[in-house]
Copies of this chain bind each other. A is one copy, B any other.
Amino acid sequence: MKVLVAEDDERIADVLQSALGRSGFEVHCESDGEVAWYRADTEAFDAIILDLGLPQMDGLTVLKRWRRQGVETPVLILTARGQWEERVEGIEAGADDYVVKPFHALEIVARIRALIRRSKGVATPRIPFGKYELDMRSMQVTEDGRPMDLTPQEFRLIAYLLHNRGRTVSQLEITEHIYRQDFERESNAVEVLVARLRKRLGHEVVKTRRGFGYTLGDDY
């Protein structure tokens, strides 16, 4: 699950990033309102955490523009204590939930989970695929209930594929989502990783689309 955190206070952003990251979310932070707007306009996030007091373009404006352009991603807004007018405006502008600062990071995690669950119409922390099941909370894949020992990289790959069911994801996209930013592009690391994942879960789990990338197999 990919979450966008639009927050200019670096301390808060760090706390959110770490809390969400530990809970298995892929977190992307932006501190500038206009940049945040662009990103959610061009990339598919599963949820957005939006601070209303952002530089360049304030949160409310950003939110209104998203909704006007058809961005339906659930948005949780952060407001300062006592600013109830902001909350009202936020909800009217299309926010799905709000949290008042200061907050417990875990509360945010819980609410984001709930938002995503509602928006997808599914209980998301556990994703079944074939005879397997991926559990984002415990960061494990189980086969008929028995836990399988995937390596961290393997887990990230299958999680990413499962979260992008029905799409074909390119090697480049995989690289950018599960590797460091400065990662060597000409390497065949992704191919090797796919091979290793297949060795564990069966060859059909990941389907190759030559020249395009990879998808989940038809039965998953």
Whole-angstrom distance between the alpha carbons of A38 and B139 in the complex?
A: 22
Cβ–Cβ contact B138 & A168, under 8 A = yes
Residues of B within 8 A of A102 (CB): 181
Given A42-B110, A111-B42, are A172 and B137 neighbors across the interface (CB < 8 Å)? no
Given A42-B113, A138-B168, A211-B151, are A18 and B106 neighbors across the interface (CB < 8 Å)? no
Residues of B within 8 A of A168 (CB): 138-140
Whole-angstrom distance between the alpha carbons of A97 and B167 in the complex?
A: 26
Cβ–Cβ contact B22 & A170, under 8 A = yes
Distance (Å) between the CB of A20 and the closest chain B CB? 10
Chain A positions 172-220 with a Cβ under 8 Å from a chain B Cβ: 172-173, 176, 181, 185, 209-213
Whole-angstrom distance between the alpha carbons of A129 and B111 in the complex?
A: 32
Cβ–Cβ contact B176 & A104, under 8 A = yes
Q: Can you add 10 more A-B contacts, CB < 8 Å, to A105-B176, A138-B166, A155-B212?
A: A18-B172, A19-B185, A42-B111, A43-B110, A109-B172, A138-B167, A139-B170, A139-B212, A140-B212, A152-B211
- A residues adjacent to B (C-beta < 8 A): 15, 18-19, 22-23, 35, 38-39, 41-43, 97, 100, 102, 104-107, 109-111, 113-114, 137-140, 149, 151-152, 155, 166-168, 170-173, 176, 181, 185, 209-213
What are 9 A-B interface contacts by the 8 Å CB criterion? A35-B100, A42-B111, A42-B113, A42-B114, A105-B172, A109-B172, A137-B167, A139-B212, A139-B213
